[in-house]
């Protein structure tokens, strides 16, 4: 299979704040000039961890910087925004921010920052596959870095130019140039950049067929990447490890590594890299003669590729570069006109014999002014059209960013899985919202030496479902505090009462038509006892005797006319048994050769197929089965499947 090197985007990144809450408190009492730094610290904390929050705080930094009227702060905020959009593959938007920042740094005469910005623009073109433009900007970056005697930027520019040596197949020189950059990065204690160099070198060793050296180098790269907590960098390191495994023909192990990397890229919204992992998975499944899986991932690759790299992207990038060059030419034109006017005034005072020449010069100037005015009017009209387009894009972006931030809030409510593992043994959660936010949620709580775990499916998905999920989550928390709640059926009924009371209208005869389907299990490890209650749902228990299905009650949570008590069911469980609770999203998905529903019968077959594996492996295989089943069809509902292994 063809192998290419991986290159990283390097920008100056301040050390992220360890305690964001303390920074948020400072923001409230600080002036705009101080807020910029605080917002940038918050954004850097979430960069490559939670993209929505990262963008939110960088936008707030730009807003505060503009209010402070300090150019350097504005440029810093612009650079950070450009870096995020470069990472998510939105290259035209990233180039817009980088270009604006470059104009500011040129005015300020800050050579280090000019070097950094030129390097970022080089990375932007590299991401689009325009290596000629990338090399041009890397060389300009090195020039300014040396003039500023900035070792950090010299190392970064060396890294970019080493990449260009690799592209020209000068592998020995490329490895040496990367080593030079690594020495500087280690000297400066820049762990992320040091790790990135090692990951890139590993890709070069793969290319020239030196797999032992590649393995040694990638192990060091993965170690340092994980220390930084950088999800993007870790995904790229895992990609190189998967390529080594593929070269050794260990395709199954390579696919597991690629799925780990794909999950990291999805978490940070790195669409350009998601596309690449789709292609690698398709290639590997083809080598395994798994035609169905290969087709599914190639279809996903093709769809995402059309979205990312279309003619509009290239056109917008060219327009942005042209605007920057035009702006510089326009400044030169204004200066030239001023000089001409000065010469005309001098000529008027020198002698009257130059009057004829002067009249001609004035006429020429008037014609130029008329032409310039016509050009400015045309430019103004184009700018107004572009402004309207920008307003629409920004409004859409604001809405999307708000929903992304709501997603972060929703995620923060979910229980910590390590706490649940410590109570039962091990578990996995396959959680895939249809939209950014989800109407499905999972919950856990402990009382009287019992662990309670719930899987809930709220009516609808997206924003309405997310509101219902947050209400359900807090309702379960409060219900568990009630002294009369000691079993899943009690907990479920108190949840029902809370939903009814919350949405009942003034005439007391109306209630919201929406509710939720819920499964709740409790584990008493001392007596090996599982208790279960559900509203319109079921539970699967896989043990030595196969898979047991226990159905819950036909009960409408949130319906004012529903007053029956729910039934509590018990089942003896043993170490090694696996309990599955879930929403209906998995079984309801359309797919397969005929585009039909998955159904619970097929879902049970899939669970039994992988029940012998560890929980993390089960999650990967179940996820893959869904990807293959769905194929190119749209996901129709939120998906939640929890597997809990009794320890």
**Could you tell me if 82 and 94 are in contact, meaning their C-beta atoms sit under 8 angstroms apart?**
yes
Per-residue model confidence as pLDDT tens digits over 100-145: 999 999 999 999 999 999 999 988 888 888 888 888 998 999 999 9
Q: How many residues does the chain have?
A: 647
CA-to-CA distance for 152 and 216, rounded, in angstroms? 26
> Which is the CATH superfamily of the domain at 211-309?
Tetratricopeptide repeat domain (1.25.40.10)
Is the pLDDT confidence value at 358 over 60? no
Per-residue model confidence as pLDDT tens digits over 575-593: 999 999 999 999 999 988 8
| Mean local confidence (pLDDT), 308-332 | 53
Q: Which whole-number Å values give the CA distances from 98 to 82, 104, 294, 322, 477, in the listed order?
A: 6, 10, 38, 14, 47
**Could you tell me if 267 and 231 are in contact, meaning their C-beta atoms sit under 8 angstroms apart?**
yes
Q: Output phi, psi for 440, to 5 deg.
A: -90, 150
Burial of 286 (0-12, 13-18, 19+ CB in 10 A): middle
| Mean local confidence (pLDDT), 183-189 | 89
What angle in degrees, to the nearest 10, is found between the helix axes of 615-630 and 251-268? 80
Is the pLDDT confidence value at 404 over 80? no
Ordered by start, the domain boundaries in the chain are 7-108, 211-309, 331-398, 414-646
What pLDDT shows up at residue 231?
A: 87
Per-residue model confidence as pLDDT tens digits over 544-568: 889 999 999 998 888 777 778 889 9
Residue 575 C-alpha from the chain's centroid: 38
Q: Output phi, psi for 75, to 5 deg.
A: -65, -40
DSSP for 319-385, please give it. Answer: HHHHHHHHHHHHHHHHHHHHHHHHHHHHHHHH-GGGHHHHHHHHHHHHHHHHHHHHHHHHHHHHHHH
317 band by pLDDT with thresholds 50, 70 and 90: low
Per-residue model confidence as pLDDT tens digits over 16-31: 444 456 666 666 667 7
Residue 456 host element (H or E): strand 450-458
Per-residue model confidence as pLDDT tens digits over 151-179: 989 998 888 888 888 888 888 888 888 88
* 114, two tokens: 């000019």
What pLDDT shows up at residue 17?
A: 41
Taking the CA atoms of residue 228, residue 230, residue 231 and residue 232 in that order, the dihedral angle to the nearest 10 degrees is -130
**Could you tell me if 550 and 539 are in contact, meaning their C-beta atoms sit under 8 angstroms apart?**
yes
Burial of 203 (0-12, 13-18, 19+ CB in 10 A): buried
Beta-sheet pairing, 450-458 with 425-432: unpaired
Percentage of the chain lying above the pLDDT 70 cut: 77
Residue among 146, 159, 147, 169 nearest 120 (CA): 159
388 band by pLDDT with thresholds 50, 70 and 90: low
Q: Which whole-number Å values give the CA distances from 97 to 91, 100, 270, 395, 591, in the listed order?
A: 10, 5, 18, 18, 41
Q: Which CATH class is domain 7-108?
A: mainly alpha
> Which is the CATH superfamily of the domain at 414-646?
PPM-type phosphatase domain (3.60.40.10)
Maximum CA pair distance of the chain? Answer: 115
Q: Output phi, psi for 84, to 5 deg.
A: -65, -50
Is the pLDDT confidence value at 356 over 60? no
What pLDDT shows up at residue 518?
A: 95
Tell me, yes or no, if the pTM score tops 0.85.
no
* 138, two tokens: 């890397």
What pLDDT shows up at residue 347?
A: 53
Is the pLDDT confidence value at 361 over 60? no
Percentage of the chain lying above the pLDDT 90 cut: 27
Domain 211-309 in the same topology as domain 7-108: yes
Termini Cα distance of the chain: 43
Residue among 234, 216, 236, 213 nearest 225 (CA): 234
């Amino acid at each position: 299979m063809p192998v290419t090197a991986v290159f990283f985007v390097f920008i100056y990144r301040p050390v992220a704040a360890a305690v964001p809450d303390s920074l948020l408190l400072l923001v409230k009492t600080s002036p705009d000039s101080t807020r910029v730094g605080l917002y940038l610290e918050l954004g850097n904390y979430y960069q490559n961890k939670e993209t929505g929050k990262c963008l939110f705080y960088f936008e707030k930094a730009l807003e505060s910087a503009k209010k402070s009227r300090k150019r350097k702060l504005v440029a810093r905020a612009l650079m950070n925004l450009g870096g995020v959009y470069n990472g998510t593959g939105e290259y035209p938007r990233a180039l817009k921010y980088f270009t604006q920042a470059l104009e500011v740094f040129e005015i300020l005469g800050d050579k280090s920052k000019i070097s950094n910005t030129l390097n970022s623009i080089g990375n932007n073109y590299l991401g689009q596959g325009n290596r000629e433009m990338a090399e041009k900007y890397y060389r300009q970056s090195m020039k300014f870095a040396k003039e500023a005697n900035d070792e950090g930027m010299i190392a970064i520019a060396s890294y970019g130019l080493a990449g260009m040596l690799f592209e020209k197949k000068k592998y020995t020189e490329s490895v040496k140039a990367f080593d030079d950059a690594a020495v500087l990065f280690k000297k400066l204690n820049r762990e992320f950049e040091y790790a990135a160099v090692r990951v890139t070198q590993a890709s070069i060793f793969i290319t020239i067929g030196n797999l032992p050296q590649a393995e040694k180098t990638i192990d060091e790269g993965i170690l340092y990447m994980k220390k930084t907590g950088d999800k993007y960098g870790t995904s790229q390191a895992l990609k190189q490890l998967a390529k080594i495994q593929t070269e050794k023909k260990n395709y199954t192990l390579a696919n597991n590594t690629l799925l780990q990397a794909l999950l990291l890229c999805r978490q940070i919204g790195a669409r350009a890299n998601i596309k690449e992992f789709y292609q690698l998975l398709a290639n590997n499944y083809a080598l395994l003669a798994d035609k169905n899986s290969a087709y599914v991932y190639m279809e996903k690759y093709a769809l995402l590729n059309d979205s990312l790299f279309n003619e509009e992207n290239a056109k917008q990038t060219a327009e942005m570069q042209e605007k920057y060059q035009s702006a510089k030419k326009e400044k030169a034109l204004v200066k030239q006109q001023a000089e001409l006017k000065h010469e005309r005034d001098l000529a008027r005072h020198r002698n009257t014999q130059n009057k004829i020449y002067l009249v001609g010069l004035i006429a020429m100037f008037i014609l130029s002014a008329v032409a310039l005015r016509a050009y400015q009017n045309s430019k103004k009209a184009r700018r107004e059209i572009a402004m309207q387009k920008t307003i629409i894009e920004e409004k859409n972006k604001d809405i999307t960013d708000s929903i992304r931030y709501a997603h972060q809030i929703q995620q923060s409510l979910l229980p910590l899985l390590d706490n649940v593992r410590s109570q039962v043994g091990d578990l996995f959660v396959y959680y895939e919202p249809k939209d950014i936010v989800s109407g499905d949620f999972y919950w856990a709580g402990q009382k009287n030496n019992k662990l309670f775990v719930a899987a809930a499916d709220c009516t609808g998905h997206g924003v309405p479902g997310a509101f219902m999920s947050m209400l359900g989550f807090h309702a379960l928390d409060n219900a568990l505090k009630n002294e009369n709640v000691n079993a899943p059926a009690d907990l479920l009924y108190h949840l029902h009462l809370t939903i009814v009371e919350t949405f009942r209208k003034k005439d007391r005869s109306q209630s919201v038509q929406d509710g939720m389907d819920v499964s709740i299990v409790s584990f008493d490890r001392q007596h090996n006892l599982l208790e279960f209650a559900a509203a319109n749902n079921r539970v699967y228990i896989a043990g030595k005797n196969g898979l047991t299905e226990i159905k819950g009650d036909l009960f409408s949570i949130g319906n004012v006319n529903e007053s029956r008590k729910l039934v509590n069911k018990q089942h003896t469980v043993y170490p090694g048994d696996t309990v599955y609770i879930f929403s209906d999203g998995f079984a309801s998905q359309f797919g397969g050769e005929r585009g039909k529903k998955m159904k619970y019968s097929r879902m049970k077959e899939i669970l039994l197929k992988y029940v012998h594996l560890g929980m993390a492996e089960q999650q990967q295989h179940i996820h893959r089965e869904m990807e293959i089943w769905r194929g190119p069809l749209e996901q129709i509902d939120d998906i939640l499947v929890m597997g809990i292994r009794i320890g």
